[in-house]
Amino acid sequence: MSDNATHSAKPASVKVAPKSAAFDFRKYRPFAFAPSLTDRTWPSKTIEKSPIWASVDLRDGNQALIDPMTIEQKMRFFKTLVDVGFKEIEIGFPSAAQVEFDFARKLIEENHVPEDVTLQVLVQAREHLIAHTFESLKGAKRAIVHVYNSTCRIQREKVYGKDKAEIKEIAITGAKLLVEYAAKYPETEWVFQYSPESFSQTETEYAVEVCDAVCEIWQPQNGQEVILNLPATVEASMPNIFADQVEYFCRNLAKREHVTVSLHTHNDRGCAVAAAELGVLAGADRIEGTLLGNGERTGNMDIMVMAMNLFSQGIDPELDFSNMSEIVQVVSECNNLPLHPRHPYVGELVFTAFSGSHQDAIKKSLDYNEKNKEETENVWDVAYLPIDPAHIGRSYQDVVRINSQSGKGGVAYILQRNYGFNLPRWMQIDFSRVVQHQAETAARELQNDEILQTFEDTYLQQGSFELLDYSVNNKGGEVYFNGQVQMNGETLTIDGTGNGPLSSFIDGLAQHTGKSLHVINYAEHAINPQHNSDNGIDDDSNSDNKTNANAVAYIQLNVDGEVYSGIGTCSSTVSAMLKGALSAFAQAPSTTAA
């Protein structure tokens, strides 16, 4: 047997599960409507400015809801869209339902439409529907009438039973009707929009043919503003193929320089945003979508995500999402749909790291930026955080959260950011083991206050060990310590000598307890007063070495060959240091008075 045969053979013990007859991939065919575009140019382009945005939340989004919005909810949503900065808003399908018609009239008659905002409505290419649609917009300063008919093969053959010429005639008839009815309302500036519905599943050359025929009626070269909207009504291909379709369309449309090419992508394959972005590279000028991606089936293209993608690349999206929490609340409440906690940019957990390595990288990046403000203050550059959460109204409070997968960096970040403790690395390692054990035992995420309580219980509570009073004096080059320490209910007088307050205190403890003691690691820092009420800082009046800032000291102590860690806090740096040593000493078993 050859080597290749040996390597490809399956072990006898491996069994391949039989395929379910109900899960038959052979019923599907590869996408068949990609144009021949061997010299495509979009892959070498970059997006350098924001496209024109058009919200279809109040129409496409609304029609996908279990319970469509009331007029009051639509009004609340409309005002939010205006506040975000949308200049083109599709408000509904006035010929489809009375509530849609009434909402359009309310906006116009009660002057809710700002001067720079254009209303858009959708209508099928049928005369009585078009007539009713124009009635709904009477008195509008400027409006987009969006007419459509489906052009894809499956609908031509199985839904309408018409050939290509007959389908094109429907589009031409609709275009003529828009011209006819717009003339009856000359006080309004009319914009005509046409969509070859299911463009993504239409032969691209045929979509061009139909849109050319529509433009022959509307004559955009003579001043009529025209939008040609290319929907991926069903996302049926990879986004690069959709981009090829868009580039082919833009290259071959006769009146391309006189029209606005718009895209309307859906998310059936999970690539609606990618398809829209690549479509812009391919030549599109305008993007339709919804906030948070609500829409038929798997949803519409999420304008918020695409806009924030531009924002994260240093491009002005021309939409304002700085008040993201309020926007999300309005959208969720009006749609009566929950927000996924991992939804890009806005989900509860999208800026949260549980992984230990991620937490460590975030902490180090933020620490670096804090120490190098002149270098970093104008550029956001933090590991695992593509944007600054503060830019969309989020705080750093939940950037790091702790569970059994977390590591020393995450725990250290929580204590530093929320409570002012800047743990040295050896203390991070020591405490992370404690927290991981706690998280594994609890089998859930740990809250910040639980972590602080565990920290205090482990290091800041000496139990029956307490530093009562002391004095430190320098004599003849040596430092003398004299003080009282309570141990296990007994008050001891401690005397010791050394080259500093800590060493003289350790010397006194060793003499009075008979333990072998020496300091392994030591660190200290001041704590911002804003954290004092949360982290157990106390005052002390027994030292002349007072500072204006509160202090914390971290001590790692070898007690009879075993290593223990302790922390002391006080307004006095010397007292904090001595308390930290006593806290570490108290961790050792059988630490009783000699």
- CATH code where residue 241 lies: 3.20.20.70
User: Residue written as tokens 């223990």?
Assistant: 564
**Inter-residue contact 504 to 483 (CB < 8 Å):** no
Q: Which two tokens stand for residue 295?
A: 């829409």
CA atoms within 13 A of residue 320's CA, in its CB half-sphere:
10
Give the SS3 label for residue 508.
helix
**Inter-residue contact 191 to 145 (CB < 8 Å):** yes
**Inter-residue contact 205 to 168 (CB < 8 Å):** no
* Per-residue model confidence (pLDDT) at position 362: 78
**Long-range contacts at 517-521 (CB < 8 A, ≥ 24 apart):** 517/557, 517/558, 517/559, 517/585, 518/557, 518/558, 519/555, 519/556, 519/557, 519/558, 519/581, 520/556, 520/557, 520/558, 520/563, 521/424, 521/426, 521/554, 521/555, 521/556
| Residue-wise pLDDT tens digits, 141-178 | 999 999 999 999 999 999 999 999 999 999 999 999 99
Q: Is residue 15 part of a domain?
A: no
* Per-residue model confidence (pLDDT) at position 531: 56
Residues 381 and 279 in one domain: no
Boundary residue ending a domain (456, 472, 507)? 456
Residues 110 and 154 in one domain: yes
Domain that holds residue 389: 356-456
Domain count of the chain?
A: 3
Q: Which two tokens stand for residue 292?
A: 């948070």
Q: Is residue 349 part of a domain?
A: no
Residues 328 and 194 in one domain: yes
Nearest to 268 by CA among 327, 200, 193: 200
Confidence category of residue 2, pLDDT binned at 50, 70, 90: very low
**Inter-residue contact 536 to 513 (CB < 8 Å):** no
Residues 156 and 250 in one domain: yes
DSSP designation for 385: B
Boundary residue ending a domain (406, 433, 456)? 456
Nearest to 470 by CA among 576, 313, 364: 576
Residues 234 and 289 in one domain: yes
On the question of pLDDT at 263 being above 80, the answer is: yes
On the question of pLDDT at 402 being above 60, the answer is: no
Residues 79 and 216 in one domain: yes
Q: Strands of 517-527's sheet, edge to edge?
A: 517-527, 546-559, 562-572
DSSP designation for 18: P
Q: Which two tokens stand for residue 251?
A: 């290259």
Q: Which two tokens stand for residue 346?
A: 């806005």
CA 486 from chain centre, in angstroms, equals 52
Could you give the residue ranges of the DSSP H alpha helices within 377-466? 408-419, 425-442, 448-455
DSSP string computed for 525-589: EEE-GGGTTTTT-----S-S-EEEEEEEEEEEEEETTEEEEEEEEEEEHHHHHHHHHHHHHHHST
Distances (CA, A) of 74 to 84, 104, 297: 15, 10, 21
Residues 302 and 378 in one domain: no
Region 120-124: what's the mean pLDDT?
Answer: 97
DSSP designation for 45: -
Alpha-carbon span 545 to 532, nearest angstrom: 19
Boundary residue ending a domain (456, 483, 505)? 456
Q: Is residue 25 part of a domain?
A: no
Q: Is the dihedral of CA 379, 380, 386, 391 positive or negative?
A: negative
Residues 70 and 111 in one domain: yes
Q: Is residue 6 part of a domain?
A: no
Residues 161 and 121 in one domain: yes
Alpha-carbon span 31 to 232, nearest angstrom: 13
Distances (CA, A) of 466 to 238, 461, 578: 69, 9, 10
Neighbour count for residue 222 (Cβ, 10 Å):
7
- CATH code where residue 548 lies: 3.30.160.270
Region 195-203: what's the mean pLDDT?
Answer: 97
Encode 141-176: b = buried (16+ Cβ within 10 Å), e = exposed.
Answer: ebbbbbbbbbbbeebbeeeeeeeeeebbbbbebbbe
Alpha-carbon span 217 to 304, nearest angstrom: 35
Residues 273 and 166 in one domain: yes
| Residue-wise pLDDT tens digits, 17-55 | 666 778 899 889 999 899 999 999 999 999 999 999 999
Residues 424 and 476 in one domain: no
* Per-residue model confidence (pLDDT) at position 470: 86
| Residues contacting residue 20 through CB under 8 Å, at least 6 positions apart | none
Q: Is residue 42 part of a domain?
A: no
Highest average pLDDT, of 132-141, 381-390, 563-572, comes from 132-141
| Residue-wise pLDDT tens digits, 70-84 | 999 999 999 999 999
Residues 277 and 422 in one domain: no
Confidence category of residue 511, pLDDT binned at 50, 70, 90: confident
